[in-house]
Structure 1
Amino acid sequence: MPCMVAVPGSHTGWTFITNHARVLAAIADNPNIRIRDIAAHCRLTERAVQRIISDLEQDGYLSHTREGRANTYRIDPDKVLRHPAEAGLTVAALLSLLVRDETDRMGKPGSQSPRLAGAGGAS
């Protein structure tokens, strides 16, 4: 049984990152993550996470395959971001800012490029 990610404390006020980006980053970090764990990590309800995943799938940023009772998600790293101010930027570029690889988490020297799990092997 995989261990759950520590849930960050609550926050009030504005933030730089949208809930859609947070959910996408959680999935990039673990393509087999459960909705329950995404919700806990992102401090959202499970229903909100389901809506966000639906939005991301509907617009082609994300797809999933069912494996038994679990989902495995796949992110399209080449999909261009929606807002005109980010014209030309891809999901991979966004995730390079949001997802840290295991060596970064552990504070060990190593690759600085993020691990885009479920992103079709792109880095």
Structure 2
Amino acid sequence: MSDSPTVPGWTFLSNHTHVMVCLAGNEDLTLRDIALTVGITERAVHRIVSELEEAGALTRERAGRRNVYRIHPELHLRHPLESHCTIGEILKLLSKKRR
């Protein structure tokens, strides 16, 4: 048995959720910081942020030379099985341990 942790082949939550969890803790993270934390490419993070922005889940604002991301916690999840939950409720649940 190895002492190093194994990386799972899949995770319960999507990379979209992982990006939102990162931004919920720090709205001015760079795409590179998010990519390193989530374990995906910067290009993938850029695509995810664009999709989340298009869906109304967040807005991107310029602050000098950087972007600041504002999450819209009141937005309901899109899938019918989860549409009774808001983004804010899910992020609050996921961030309990991180505080």
TM-score normalized by the length of structure 1: 0.72
Residue 38 of structure 1 pairs with residue 34 of structure 2: yes
Tell me the secondary structure at the aligned position of residue 77 of structure 2: coil
Contact 1:10–1:43 (8 Å) recurs in 2: no
1:78-119, Cα deviation, whole Å (9 max, x unpaired): 00001110021000111012224xxx54xxxxxxxx6xxxxx
Is 1:20 the counterpart of 2:38 in the alignment? no
SS at 1:85 equivalent:
coil
Q: Which residue of 2 aligns with 1:82?
A: 78
**Residue identity opposite 1:96 in structure 2:** K
> Residue 69 of structure 1: which of 65, 68, 87 is its match?
65
Q: Percent identity?
A: 45
Q: Name 1:96's counterpart in structure 2.
A: 92
Letter in 2 for 1:58: E
Q: Determine the C-alpha separation between the residues in 2 that align with 1:93 and 1:16.
A: 17
Q: CA RMSD in A?
A: 1.6
5+ long unaligned stretches in structure 1:
1-8, 106-113, 115-123
The CA deviation at 1:12 is 3.2
Note if contact 1:80-1:88 (Cα within 8 Å) is conserved in structure 2: yes
Match for residue 56 of structure 2? 60
Is there any run of 5+ residues in structure 2 with no aligned partner, and where?
A: none
What are the Cα deviations for residues 26-82 of structure 1, in whole angstroms up to 9, with x where unaligned? 001001111000000000100000000000000000001101111111000100001
With structure 2 as the length reference, what TM-score do the two structures score? 0.88
Shift of 1:10: 6.8
**Matched residues, number:** 95
